[in-house]
C-alpha cells in the first residue's frame, strides 16, 4: 500500500484531503503538516511514497520542500497543488522532477484519479527496489567473498593498478588516497565452553561490523575468514594517516574491551605511497601480526624500521615477553600453537621469531642448531602423529648432507618441516570439512522449501560459526552458501515449471519464496527469463 503525506497551509483544504477514505482506494495517509519547514523532519522519518504539497506556503514553500525531499528521498514522488497557473512555476516544478502539477481547486475524485494514474508504476518501482535490496542482502555473502578475493589480489603485488581501480569501483570501494597502510587483526573469545565462544564471538563480530560500517570514510574492512580481518587505511598525507590509525585503534580497543575474556592482536604495517606498494605494507603488518604466537597479551603492534613497537608504548622487548612464560616449554608451546592454527603464509615470520628467541649467538653453534632442529622435528612428529600420520611423514634433519651447515640452512629446514606439518593438518581438515559440507548439502536438499533456511540455521545444525561455515563451504563447493541455495531453489523451480501445471505463485512457495514477486525477480536474475517465458520456452 502506497503511503501519502500532505503539506498544505490552508486548514479547510488540508482537512478535506485528510478525510478522503484513503484505504478504500489502496493508499495509506501517513502524516500532515501546515508548511514545508514542519513537514521536512516528519517526511524524513516516515519516508512516504508520495508527498502532496501546496506550492505557496509560509516559512518554506512547496518548491523548496521538493528540492530537499528529492535530494534526500529520490524515490518519493511529489504532487504539487497550486492556485497559480504561471508557466514559470510549472516549469520549475518539472525541472525538480515532480510527478504531477495540479491547479486548485482539486476535488477528491480528481486527486484520486491522478494518484491512480501513478499507482501501478509507483508500486512496480517500489517492488523492484525492495526486491533489489532483498537480493543484495541474500547475496551479501558473495559480496564479502568478492572483497576478500580482491584484497588478496591487492596485496599480492601482481595486478596492474588500472585493473585494481576498475575492480574497486565495481565493488563500490574508494581507494583514492595519497598514502596507504594495512592493519591485520584477529579477535576471539577465550572460553572452555564452545557455546559461549560462538555466541559471544558472534556478538563481537556484529559489533565490529557495525563499527566498520559507520567508519567507511576512515578505512575499508576486509574479512580474512579464520585469519581475522584486514583494514586498509588511506589518507592525504602521512601525518593525517597516522592520526586516523590511532583514532580507529582507540575505537577498536574500546569496543573489544567491553567483552569478557576477549583475545585480540593487531599488526600495523608500514605506510606506502602507491597502491602498487601495498604488498610492502601487508608484509610488514604480517611480520608484526605473527608475533602473536610469542605474546599472550592483547596488543596492537607496529612494524617500524625492522623492529616491533607496542601501540602507545615503547619498543617491544621480547625478553619481557619470554620471561612471563615457562622458558623450558616456551618454544615448543609456541610451535604447537602455530602448527594448530597458523597459516602457511606466516611461516617465515614465525620462524624468524622462533629462532631469534632461542638466541642469535647460540645459533652459531652447530651443536645448538642440531638441538633446535631435533626439538622442532620431534615436536612436529608428535603433533602429526596425533592427527593419525606416521613418523616418516615428517622429514628428519640430515646433518651429513649439510642440512644444518649454517643458520640459513636451519631456517630452510624449519620451513620444510612446518610447511609439511601444516599441509598434513589441512589435509585432515579438508576431509573433515567435506563431511560437514556434505551434511549441509543434504540438509539443503531436504529443507530448501523453508523460507527461513539460512547460513545461521545450517551453522547451528553442524555446530560451526556462520563465518567459519561460509569459508569451508566456499572452499569445498567453489561457491558461497547463499548462491548455492538460490541456484538449487531455482533449479527445483525450473523442474516444476516444465513438469507440472502449477501456477508460479505455487511454485514460489514450493521452493522457499513466499513472495511470488521476489521469486519472479530472482528467477529472472538467475536465468535471464521470467517463469512464464521459461515455461513457454522463449
- CA separation for the pair 477, 471 (Å, rounded): 10
Contact in structure between 309 and 245 (CB atoms under 8 Å): no
> How many residues belong to the chain?
538
Report pLDDT for 272: 93
Q: What is the dihedral of CA 89, 90, 92, 93, to 10 degrees?
A: 110
Kind plus residue range of the DSSP H or E element containing 92: helix 87-95
Q: Where are the domains of the chain?
A: 2-138, 154-317, 325-436, 449-535
Spell out the long-range contacts of 62-68 with Cβ–Cβ below 8 A and sequence spacing 24 or more: 62/7, 62/36, 63/89, 63/92, 63/93, 63/96, 64/36, 65/7, 65/36, 65/39, 65/40, 66/93, 66/96, 66/97, 66/98, 67/96, 68/36, 68/40
Contact in structure between 282 and 233 (CB atoms under 8 Å): no
Contact in structure between 524 and 530 (CB atoms under 8 Å): yes
- CA separation for the pair 436, 462 (Å, rounded): 7
Contact in structure between 349 and 355 (CB atoms under 8 Å): no
* 80 φ, ψ (degrees, to nearest 5): -95, 130
CATH code for the part of the protein at 2-138? 3.40.50.2300
CATH superfamily of 154-317: Reverse transcriptase/Diguanylate cyclase domain (3.30.70.270)
Contact in structure between 413 and 373 (CB atoms under 8 Å): yes
DSSP 510-531: HTT-S-HHHHHHHHHHHHSS-H
Say if strands 262-268 and 299-304 run parallel, antiparallel, or are unpaired: parallel
- CA separation for the pair 188, 208 (Å, rounded): 12
The set of cell numbers assigned to 174 is 574508494
Q: In what order do the strands lie in the sheet with 27-33?
A: 27-33, 2-7, 50-54, 77-82, 100-103
Helix axes 407-447, 327-341, angle to 10 degrees: 40
Report pLDDT for 268: 92
* 457 φ, ψ (degrees, to nearest 5): -60, -50
Blockwise average pLDDT, block size 10, the chain, 538 residues: 89 88 90 90 91 86 87 88 66 73 83 86 83 81 84 86 88 90 85 61 76 80 81 93 91 86 88 91 87 80 72 50 38 81 84 76 74 85 88 79 73 91 84 86 94 90 84 87 93 94 93 91 91 86
* 301: CB partners within 8 A, 6+ apart: 265, 266, 267, 268, 288, 289, 291, 295, 308, 309, 310, 311, 316
- CA separation for the pair 14, 18 (Å, rounded): 6
Contact in structure between 343 and 227 (CB atoms under 8 Å): yes
Terminal-residue alpha carbon distance, the chain: 33
CATH code for the part of the protein at 449-535? 1.10.10.60
Helix axes 62-72, 87-95, angle to 10 degrees: 10
DSSP 362-415: GGGSHHHHHHHHHHHHHHHHHHHHHTT--GGGSPPP-GGGTTTSSHHHHHHHHH
Report pLDDT for 360: 66
The set of cell numbers assigned to 507 is 511454485
Amino acid at each position: 500500500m502506497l503511503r501519502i503525506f500532505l503539506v498544505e497551509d490552508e486548514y479547510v483544504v488540508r482537512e478535506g484531503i485528510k478525510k478522503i477514505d484513503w484505504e478504500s482506494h489502496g493508499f495509506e495517509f501517513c502524516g500532515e503538516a501546515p508548511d514545508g519547514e514542519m513537514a521536512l523532519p516528519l517526511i524524513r522519518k516516515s519516508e512516504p511514497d508520495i508527498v502532496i504539497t501546496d506550492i505557496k506556503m509560509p516559512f518554506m514553500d512547496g518548491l523548496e520542500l521538493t528540492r530537499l525531499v528529492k535530494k534526500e528521498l529520490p524515490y518519493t514522488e511529489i504532487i504539487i497543488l497550486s492556485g497559480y497557473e504561471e508557466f514559470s512555476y510549472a516549469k520549475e516544478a518539472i525541472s525538480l522532477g515532480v510527478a504531477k502539477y495540479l491547479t486548485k481547486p482539486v476535488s477528491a475524485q480528481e486527486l484520486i484519479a491522478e494518484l491512480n494514474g501513478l499507482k501501478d508504476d509507483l508500486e512496480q518501482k517500489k517492488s523492484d527496489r525492495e526486491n533489489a535490496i532483498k537480493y543484495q542482502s541474500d547475496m551479501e555473502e558473495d559480496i564479502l567473498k568478492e572483497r576478500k578475493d580482491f584484497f588478496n589480489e591487492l596485496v599480492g603485488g601482481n595486478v596492474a593498478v588500472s585493473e585494481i581501480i576498475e575492480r574497486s569501483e565495481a565493488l563500490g570501494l574508494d581507494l583514492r588516497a595519497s598514502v596507504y597502510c594495512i592493519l591485520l587483526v584477529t579477535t576471539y573469545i577465550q572460553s572452555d565452553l564452545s557455546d559461549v565462544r560462538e555466541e559471544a564471538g558472534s556478538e563481537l563480530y556484529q559489533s565490529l561490523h557495525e563499527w566498520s560500517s559507520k567508519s567507511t570514510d576512515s578505512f575499508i574492512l576486509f574479512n580474512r575468514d579464520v585469519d581475522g580481518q584486514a583494514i586498509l587505511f588511506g589518507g592525504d598525507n602521512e601525518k593525517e594517516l597516522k592520526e586516523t590509525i590511532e583514532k580507529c585503534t582507540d575505537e577498536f580497543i574500546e569496543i573489544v574491551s567491553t567483552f569478557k575474556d576477549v583475545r585480540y592482536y593487531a599488526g600495523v604495517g608500514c605506510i606506502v605511497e602507491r597502491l602498487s606498494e601495498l604488498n610492502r605494507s601487508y608484509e610488514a603488518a604480517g611480520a608484526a601480526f605473527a608475533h602473536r604466537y610469542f605474546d599472550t597479551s592483547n596488543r596492537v603492534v607496529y612494524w617500524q624500521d625492522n623492529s616491533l613497537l607496542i601501540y602507545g608504548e615503547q619498543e617491544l622487548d621480547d625478553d619481557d615477553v619470554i620471561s612471563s612464560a615457562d622458558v623450558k616449554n616456551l618454544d615448543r608451546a609456541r610451535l604447537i600453537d602455530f602448527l594448530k592454527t597458523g597459516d602457511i603464509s606466516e611461516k617465515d615470520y614465525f620462524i624468524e621469531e622462533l629462532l631469534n628467541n632461542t638466541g642469535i649467538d647460540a645459533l652459531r653453534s652447530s651443536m645448538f642448531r642440531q638441538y633446535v632442529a631435533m626439538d622442532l622435528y620431534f615436536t612436529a612428529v608428535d603433533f602429526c602423529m596425533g592427527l593419525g600420520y606416521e613418523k616418516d611423514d615428517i622429514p628428519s634433519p640430515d646433518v651429513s648432507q649439510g642440512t644444518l651447515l649454517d643458520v640459513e640452512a636451519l631456517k630452510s629446514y624449519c620451513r620444510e618441516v612446518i610447511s609439511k606439518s601444516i599441509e598434513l593438518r589441512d589435509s585432515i581438515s579438508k576431509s573433515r570439512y567435506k563431511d560437514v559440507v556434505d551434511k549441509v548439502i543434504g540438509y539443503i536438499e531436504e529443507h530448501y522449501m523453508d523460507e527461513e533456511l539460512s547460513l545461521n540455521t545450517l551453522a547451528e545444525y553442524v555446530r560451526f560459526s556462520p563465518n567459519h561455515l561460509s569459508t569451508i563451504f566456499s572452499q569445498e563447493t567453489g561457491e558461497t552458501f547463499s548462491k548455492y541455495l538460490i541456484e538449487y531453489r531455482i533449479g527445483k523451480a525450473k523442474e516444476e515449471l516444465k513438469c507440472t501445471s502449477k501456477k508460479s505463485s505455487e511454485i514460489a512457495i514450493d521452493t522457499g519464496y513466499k513472495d511470488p514477486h521476489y521469486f519472479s525477480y530472482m528467477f529472472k536474475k538467475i536465468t535471464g527469463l521470467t517463469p512464464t517465458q521459461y515455461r513457454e520456452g522463449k
